[in-house]
Amino acid sequence: MKKVIFFIILLPYLNSYSQSWYDVNFDDSSQLYKITIDTTLNPNNIWQIGVPQKSIFNSAYSFPNVIVTDTINSYPSNDTSIFYITHIADYGFVWNHTVILSGYYKSDSDSLNDFGLMEFSPDKGETWINLVNDSIYDEYLSWYSEKPVLTGRTPEWTYFYVSLVELGYVFNFEIGDTLYYKFSFISNGDINQMDGLMYDDLHFEDSYEIIDENSIGNIKSVVFPNPAVEGFTIEYENKENTILKLSIYDIYGKQLFSQHNIFENKILIDTREFPSGLYFYKLFDSEIKQQSCGKFVIEK
């Protein structure tokens, strides 16, 4: 399989947030190197980039091009076609606040028999996570739209948006890891005069906090109870008896709470004003340049 790798260059700022994103709308030819249509395993791969000219697939979401299972012909039987988009995680997903995949799709296929797959691999292709329906990792995926229905007929452009941020606590993301996104279309033996699957305006985003140090040590910490209802305690080590700062963020990276000048080895947080959901915290010691990051859930 041919691999296409692209780099996102991030400039460091002191205690700032860095956000990187890229859009693949299939119209800017300078961006097409980010896409690999796999003709190694399937020389007759039917994914094509161009102007859709079919009965249902007859226009792009953003004019003029899309990626589609053939721009002119119906999809064939007994076919598996795949394209990949790869991304270098320059800073890893160690302390991220946002990891997003979103975009638009149309589907026109034999319901359940012919279908698309949307998958993600955090470990260079060893593990593939079905973003729409995964029995193992589904609890770590947060859909902020309806899950895409990549089979049957969806004749209008339909938006999808999924957050992958919690996978950072399942897999050991390292700086420079290559992340894979795989988009497949699979048909069975029946012959159907149908259009297949089509995507446009794919959007990839990650956001994380960076500081002026290249490496940060770890302070051990624990949260209880977790999930929390009205409050929780963060207990942590403070061997040097230094002053710490606590920050709490929502899944979009927005800071909701901060407390400075912490001397003790535990702190009680009142969460009655916090809505239900997933949150992240960071304890930071600016004197010895160490931190502790974790997550907690609020249920009401």
- CA angle, residues 223, 225, 227, in degrees to nearest 5: 100
Quote the pLDDT of residue 21. 65
pLDDT at 200: 97
From CA 129, how far away is CA 297, in angstroms rounded? 23
User: How large a percentage of the chain has pLDDT more than 90?
Assistant: 40
For residue 126, CA distances in Å to 84, 89, 160, 179 come to 15, 17, 25, 11
Q: pLDDT by residue (tens digit) across 74-130?
A: 999 999 999 999 876 655 554 445 678 999 999 999 999 999 999 999 887 889 999
Its pTM stands at 0.65
pLDDT for the residue 75 = 98
* pLDDT at residue 96, rounded to an integer: 42
Which of 113-122 are b and which e, b meaning 16 or more Cβ less than 10 Å from the residue's Cβ? ebbbbbbbbb
> How does pLDDT run along the chain (300 residues), one tens digit per residue?
333 333 222 223 233 444 456 678 899 877 777 799 999 989 999 999 999 999 999 999 999 999 999 999 999 999 999 999 987 665 555 444 567 899 999 999 999 999 999 999 988 788 999 999 999 999 888 898 899 999 999 999 999 999 887 787 677 666 556 778 999 999 999 999 999 999 999 988 765 443 333 333 467 788 889 888 889 998 887 766 777 888 887 765 677 888 888 888 888 999 888 888 888 788 877 676 677 777 788 887
Do 128 and 121 form a contact (C-beta atoms < 8 A)?
yes
C-alpha distances (whole Å) from 101 to each of 20, 55, 95, 142, 216 are: 12, 28, 18, 11, 28
pLDDT number for residue 154: 97
Residue ranges and CATH numbers for the domains of the chain are 16-210 (2.60.120.200), 217-298 (2.60.40.10)
Q: Which of 101, 69, 61 is nearest to 85 (CA)?
A: 101
pLDDT at 124: 79
Sign of CA dihedral 297, 226, 137, 6: positive
- pLDDT tens digit string along 159-175? 999 988 778 767 766 65
